[in-house]
Amino acid sequence: MTRFILVRHGETDWNKEHRIQGHADAPLNSDGIAQAKSIATRLSDINLDAIFSSDVSRTRETAAIIAAGRGIEVQEMFDLRERNYGKWEGVTQAEWESTDPEGFAHWKRAPETYVPPGGESLQQVHERTVQAYNYISQNQPSDSTVVVVGHGAALLVLTVHLLQLPLKVRNNFNLSNTSLSVLDVGQDFTVIRLWNDVSHRGISIP
């Protein structure tokens, strides 16, 4: 059994502004850095065997703060990136809705069937995140504890895959910035031990 500790990246200015990030390389803001430090403290007493991260700034910075002082090199993976939102990256949700109300409504209602112009389908995200998971699981001993620092959509897609659920079920889950989620993954089962916990940030989930 491998323990997967899933951590969504810390906050960016684009998060605060409700801008679509996708593959865009928005760095952590000061709050995001503080959040990353808080999750690093939360994990400080846990022995970690490996740390994997998406290869954009907000995840790399979060992972580096978690890895500091551990002697573990963060392994960056393109396949752990957020969904590519194409044309809508850098646009606020309000701007997107006013520009393309039909497409925006489709995305909010059924993101698994919406494909942004120039972007990825959720199925494509599923294929590459599963590819990342397969690489990690094949290259770590079965009793490892592994941290995966990623993005909301990509981590949710990975989660429903591990739970053997359809893609649309990801809409029933949420991940806050630097939330802590723990999944124990065996050969034919996955157990959620903790989900979207942000108690290390001194707040509770509404």
Among residues 9, 23, 151, 161, the one annotated as catalytic is: 9
Among residues 61, 82, 89, 120, the one annotated as catalytic is: 82
| Region for 83 from its dihedrals, namely left if φ exceeds 0, alpha if ψ lies in -120 to 50, beta otherwise | beta
Q: What is the CA radius of gyration of the chain?
A: 16
* 200 in active site: no
CA distances from 20 to 23, 41, 64 (A): 9, 29, 24
Strand partners of residue 77: 54
Instruction: Determine the residue type at 54.
Output: S
CA distances from 80 to 3, 9, 42, 101, 153 (A): 18, 12, 23, 29, 10
CB 175 within 8 A of CB 144: no
* 82 in active site: yes
Strand partners of residue 28: 12
Active site residues: 9, 82
